[in-house]
Structure 1
Amino acid sequence: MQDPVERLLPPAVRAALARRELLVRRPVAGGRHGVHRSLRPGVGRDFRDYRAYVPGDDPRRLDWRAAARSDRLVVRQTESQEELTITWLVDGSGGMGYGEGEARKWARAGTVVAALSSLALRQADGVGVVIGREGSVDAELIDASTRRDRLRALAGRFVGAEPAGACPWEAMLEAAAPRLRPRSLVLAVSDFLDPGAGQVASGEGERAADEALLRGLGLMRAAGSDVVLIQILHRDELSFPWEQPRVLRLEDPRGRRPLVEGPGASMRDAYLERLGAHLRWLEGSCERGGLLLVRLVSDGDPAGQLIDLLGRLAGAPSEVSLGEEGRA
């Protein structure tokens, strides 16, 4: 039986990430030394500022040249390099099961989660994950860990389970929020096409249910965490390739929406118009809420997408869709 980590991280992906680091765009607060900028001065490589010497300071940190210019003893302060805590919120609903082979959305989600987690663990950063599927929350790995076996346990969640049912986003947020450490990195992975399906079925308005999810993620950001939405879509969802006049039968993989039937040719324009409106709403809502949105297409080059994603996390400007393959 193939190792779950090797299954999610093929040789080309591992080679592309061999010398990469996972960096975040904002300083973090942590208790151990790592590779990320800290909110407080400490031991590090990058100069931050000077401050006046006080008895008890390490004499090795005195800057004698600056002292000669100012006639007072000063100490060099550097950016403390601290560890980061990463929490994954993963949509394991039936919608993530669309596609085949490596182009399956669930497979691409697993590759993204495993790849970034492997970098984090290599840097001694803690990783935790929460998965929502079939209306329930799998929070067994919610507490961030730096243990070597965390990556294999995490990968096993993708290889050993099938996406099904609806993702209970509200319950996932409620489970994760109290466990977040200050200035954590929260990464939500989903197609974000129908995140409020469960609430809609219980009578809540469609847009209101979607807004509730973004509001919950926004509260995590307000509490000090960096929040990133990684939207994974299949190319069929972006292009609706069924243009023939034959009748299509569309079933909701989450089991919450009624069956839709009709000629593909007549359904395509309406579908693409509605999809475009939803994607624009999502982009605008994330921008207004200070949430980073990254869109991946499940059949794109995984190594290239991951390198671009690392750049976005580190603060590099880019389009929402990573790479040419991300554009509809």
Structure 2
Amino acid sequence: MQLDPKVLMTVKNLPLLAKTVVDGFMNGLNKSTVKGPGLEFSQYRSYQPGDDLRWLDWKMYARSDRYYIRESEIETSISVRFLIDASASMNHNDNGVKKIDYAKFLTASLAYLANTQGDSVGLYTLANGGLYSMASKADPQHLQRLFYQLDRIEPSGKFTQPVHYKELFAGTGRKELLVFITDMYQADGEITRLLDSLAALKHEIIVFHLMGRNELDFDFKGYGALQDMETGETIAINTQLAKKEYQETLEKHLADIRMQLLGKRIFYRMISMGQPLDEALRDFLVQRSLTPTPLQRRGA
């Protein structure tokens, strides 16, 4: 069951919303197409030296006198840290849904899904150069606190790189995944610089880039001017004359972002706010299963 974001706006309880979205997603998921931690058993493979002996299937050994590993079992939980862009531009409204609302829906659903996988989850918000930190934990009470803090986020000010950005990773050697939800609006490359700094720390990063359908289609009917939510600057527009040039420029802009992040080994997904959350949930599960262990990260 895929829920339209406008329908989700009617659900005022974030825990209920997250459970509804994830339950519907998991019920419709073809689990044979997505391997990884936390999913159902997928297949056997031959034992290789260095494999964790906990995942040997002794019944298969008894039947075949050969060693087999069961793939797609949970080998270890990971720490998932959600970073929310809470600058003023996240108040952008598309057909009754604000970017910050969609970011809350997405974060709540991903956190709920991660918690069901046995992962610890943390919440971080960026606005006006400040970084709100809620450390990563795995217990259900912590998840409820995350929902509470998530619901309280009110976008304001400009996006600037926080001084203590290294707090986004624990540095414990545990598997870590950072999920950054943003509109990628930057006046002078500040988001790019932050991602450069984070990528240098050698952890896995997913960027979910939120865009309104009205931004993608340049559909601002009835408006003769647009206002920058972070600077207050306004520009006059002629939607008919500007649309073609705008869409060509936007296409190049999105392609440039994708290539830049690919070069940093950062997973990137642009999400239209008119679409359900399923694609993002699927991307998260796949990326979670690909997150390397500390030994793999060091090249062992």
> Which category of TM-score, normalised to the shorter sequence, fits these structures?
0.7 to 0.9
Are 1:240 and 2:249 counterparts?
no
In structure 2, the residue matched to 1:216 is 197
Are 1:187 and 2:197 counterparts?
no
**Letter of the structure 2 residue corresponding to residue 82 of structure 1:** T
Are 1:301 and 2:276 counterparts?
yes
Sort the Cα spacing of 1:236 and 1:101 in 2 relative to 1 into closer, same or farther, 3 A. Answer: closer
Q: Is the 8 A contact 1:51 1:76 kept in 2?
A: no
CA deviation after TM superposition for structure 1 residue 215, in Å:
1.3
RMSD across aligned C-alpha pairs, in angstroms? Answer: 3.9
Long gaps (5+) in structure 2:
1-10, 51-55, 291-300
Paired residues in the alignment total 268
Residue-by-residue CA offset, 1:38-65 (whole Å, 9 max, x unaligned)? xxxxxxx95562559xxxxx9x799578
CA deviation after TM superposition for structure 1 residue 243, in Å:
6.3
Q: Which has the higher contact order (CA 8 A, sep 6+)?
A: 2
1:282 to 257, 277, 284: 257
**Letter of the structure 2 residue corresponding to residue 288 of structure 1:** G
Sort the Cα spacing of 1:65 and 1:13 in 2 relative to 1 into closer, same or farther, 3 A. Answer: closer
Q: Is the 8 A contact 2:166 2:198 kept in 1?
A: no
Are 1:313 and 2:287 counterparts?
yes
Q: Is the 8 A contact 1:48 1:77 kept in 2?
A: yes
Q: Is the 8 A contact 1:91 1:167 kept in 2?
A: yes
**Separation in structure 1 between the aligned mates of residue 131 and residue 152 of structure 2, nearest angstrom:** 16
Are 1:158 and 2:150 counterparts?
yes
Residue-by-residue CA offset, 1:225-265 (whole Å, 9 max, x unaligned)? 22111111111111111367x731x222123x633234344
Sort the Cα spacing of 1:101 and 1:275 in 2 relative to 1 into closer, same or farther, 3 A. Answer: closer
Sort the Cα spacing of 1:12 and 1:315 in 2 relative to 1 into closer, same or farther, 3 A. Answer: closer
**Separation in structure 2 between the aligned mates of residue 309 and residue 61 of structure 1, nearest angstrom:** 34
The two structures have a TM-score, normalised by structure 1, of: 0.67
The two structures have a TM-score, normalised by structure 2, of: 0.72
**Separation in structure 1 between the aligned mates of residue 35 and residue 196 of structure 2, nearest angstrom:** 21
Are 1:113 and 2:107 counterparts?
yes
2:25 to 7, 16, 37: 16
2:227 to 224, 230, 251: 251
Q: Choose 12-21 or 121-130, whichever is displaced more.
A: 12-21
Q: Is the 8 A contact 1:48 1:78 kept in 2?
A: no
**Separation in structure 2 between the aligned mates of residue 120 and residue 185 of structure 1, nearest angstrom:** 11
**Separation in structure 2 between the aligned mates of residue 46 and residue 254 of structure 1, nearest angstrom:** 53
Residue-by-residue CA offset, 1:130-162 (whole Å, 9 max, x unaligned)? 1112331111x1x21011122222222332232
Percent of aligned positions with the same letter in both sequences? 15
**Separation in structure 1 between the aligned mates of residue 254 and residue 280 of structure 2, nearest angstrom:** 21
In terms of Rg, which structure is larger?
1
Residue-by-residue CA offset, 1:273-308 (whole Å, 9 max, x unaligned)? 332222111111122222111121112123x33454
- Please give the secondary structure, in 1, of the residue aligned with 2:169: helix
- Please give the secondary structure, in 2, of the residue aligned with 1:149: helix
**Letter of the structure 2 residue corresponding to residue 165 of structure 1:** G
**Letter of the structure 1 residue corresponding to residue 247 of structure 2:** L
Long gaps (5+) in structure 1:
28-33, 37-44, 53-57, 68-73, 201-205, 317-328
**Separation in structure 2 between the aligned mates of residue 136 and residue 127 of structure 1, nearest angstrom:** 20
